[in-house]
Amino acid sequence: MSTRYTSLGRFPNTRLRRNRREAWSRRLVAETKLSVDDLIWPVFVQEGKNERTPVKSMPGVDRLTIDLFAEAAKEARDLGIPAVAIFPETDPKAKTPDGREAYNPDNLVCRAIMAVKKAVPDIGVVCDVALDPFNSDGHDGIVRDGYVQNDETLDALVAQALVQTEAGADIQAPSDMMDGRIGAIRKALDDKGHIHTQIMSYAAKYASAFYNPFRDAIGSSGALKGDKKTYQMDYANSDEALREVAFDIEEGADMVMVKPGLPYLDIVRRVKDTFGIPTYAYQVSGEYAMLRGAADRGWLDWNRVLIETLTGFKRAGCDGILTYGAVDAARLLKGL
Ligand SMILES: NCc1[nH]cc(CCC(=O)O)c1CC(=O)O
Ligand SMILES: [Mg+2]
């Protein structure tokens, strides 16, 4: 809005509180509408049958075996949630320095994709592309000489994206922050005829302390040596995020993501205003833990902070949000 318009009002002729006085009027002037169509639900999966394991640092979130995941996806679909995102807890014995379990076509992720696509064909399935759940170093790429190797990692990521696509995943979501991975994955998918597979790039992903509960959930915290600052972005930077997004769009990204969410809404706004591409943010594990932890102590009202934060994401320019609160939010939005 230009200052020309903001300076039009004069008290007492203009009273901004007039429009806020009644509930119907507040609805009428609301600029942003959060809907169940805006939600992507990240789910942790584990080996076994008919079992769920609470994630300690994320109260209310359980890791699910594939059978329970398929049932949960059905409920999510029935609530109108458009897509789920799968994150595996890999058996530590299957973790190697090269993370080759990532492109084993029979790995936990691929079996989860097949199960959910069979049980609920009409829900979108998003899969991370990154080596950290499979790599004995807990890093998103291959570590050699104490450095996460970029170009060597690309081959592994391409192989991973291919097995996940062949298992039936709809959206590949590279979260590794290697340079050039979007182009490499797009080309490999196209070469194999997977021209309809979408790519949601974690384009501006910051090296953040808010990912710790996630690393507990997938069992990579113990493995991780050092930090991810040589590939994930420095949270001091914003112009750099626009370069990251620009490159990913040129390389073929269909959608881009900013991550984490709440402390990075300024980045979301710049990305959306600059590129106008479908733009998402991830309300990450630490953001969830912060809100749920406080709510469980009676310090915050979970339902209200959930809807308020998700609406804030939309107001900042998000077309959708990945949130562990997706099911709760969907129920609230449907008045259930
Ligand atoms: N590449 C792995 C990955 N994909 C999504 C998250 C974080 C999600 C969350 O914290 O909820 C991470 C963690 C990391 O980069 O260390
Ligand atoms: Mg990049």
Residue 15 lies in a domain: no
Residue 37 lies in a domain: yes
Amino acid of residue 330 = A
Using an 8 Å Cβ cutoff, are 42 and 88 in contact? no
Q: State whether the beta carbon of 128 lies less than 6 angstroms from ligand 1.
A: yes
Q: What are the binding residues for Mg(2+)?
A: 244
Task: Write out the two tokens for 67.
Answer: 């059978």
Residue 146 lies in a domain: yes
Nearest ligand to the C-alpha atom of residue 126: 1
Residue 222 lies in a domain: yes
Instruction: Return the bridge partners of 200, or none.
Output: 255
Using an 8 Å Cβ cutoff, are 87 and 133 in contact? yes
Per-residue confidence band for 8, with pLDDT thresholds at 50, 70 and 90: confident
Provide mean pLDDT across the span 305-312.
98
Look at residue 1 and tell me whether its pLDDT is greater than 90: no
Using an 8 Å Cβ cutoff, are 65 and 45 in contact? yes
Q: State whether the beta carbon of 132 lies less than 6 angstroms from ligand 1.
A: yes
pLDDT number for residue 200: 98
Nearest Cα residue to 251 out of 183, 151, 201: 183
Residue 20 lies in a domain: no
- Output the pTM of the full model: 0.97
Look at residue 7 and tell me whether its pLDDT is greater than 80: no
Residue 5 lies in a domain: no
Quote the number of domains for the chain: 1
Q: State whether the beta carbon of 324 lies less than 6 angstroms from ligand 1.
A: no
Per-residue confidence band for 223, with pLDDT thresholds at 50, 70 and 90: confident
Residue 14 lies in a domain: no
Q: How far apart are CA 307 and CA 311, in angstroms?
A: 6
Q: Which residues are catalytic?
A: 205, 259
Nearest Cα residue to 107 out of 160, 153, 186: 160
Q: State whether the beta carbon of 140 lies less than 6 angstroms from ligand 1.
A: yes
Q: Which residues are within 8 A (CB) of 125 and not within 5 positions of it... i.e. 6 or more apart?
A: 83, 84, 85, 86, 113, 116, 117, 168, 169, 170, 171
Q: How far apart are CA 173 and CA 131, in angstroms?
A: 12
| CATH number of the domain residue 239 falls in | 3.20.20.70
Looking at ligand 1, which atom is closest to the CA of residue 224?
16
Provide mean pLDDT across the span 272-282.
98
- If one residue of 214, 282, 322, 323 were mutated to test the ligand 1 pocket, choosing by the most ligand atoms within 8 A of its CB, it would be 214
Sign of CA dihedral 279, 77, 172, 307: positive
Nearest ligand to the C-alpha atom of residue 224: 1
pLDDT number for residue 50: 98
Q: What is the pLDDT of residues 68-113, one digit of tens each?
A: 999 999 999 999 999 999 999 999 999 999 999 999 999 999 999 9
Q: What is the pLDDT of residues 16-44, one digit of tens each?
A: 999 999 999 999 999 999 999 999 999 99
Task: Write out the two tokens for 147.
Answer: 């450095």
Residue 157 lies in a domain: yes
pLDDT number for residue 219: 86
- Rounded to the nearest 5°, which phi and psi values hold at 6? -70, -20
Per the structure, the complete domain to which residue 215 belongs is given by 33-333
Look at residue 9 and tell me whether its pLDDT is greater than 90: no
Q: What is the pLDDT of residues 147-187, one digit of tens each?
A: 999 999 999 999 999 999 999 999 999 999 999 999 999 99
ipTM: 0.97
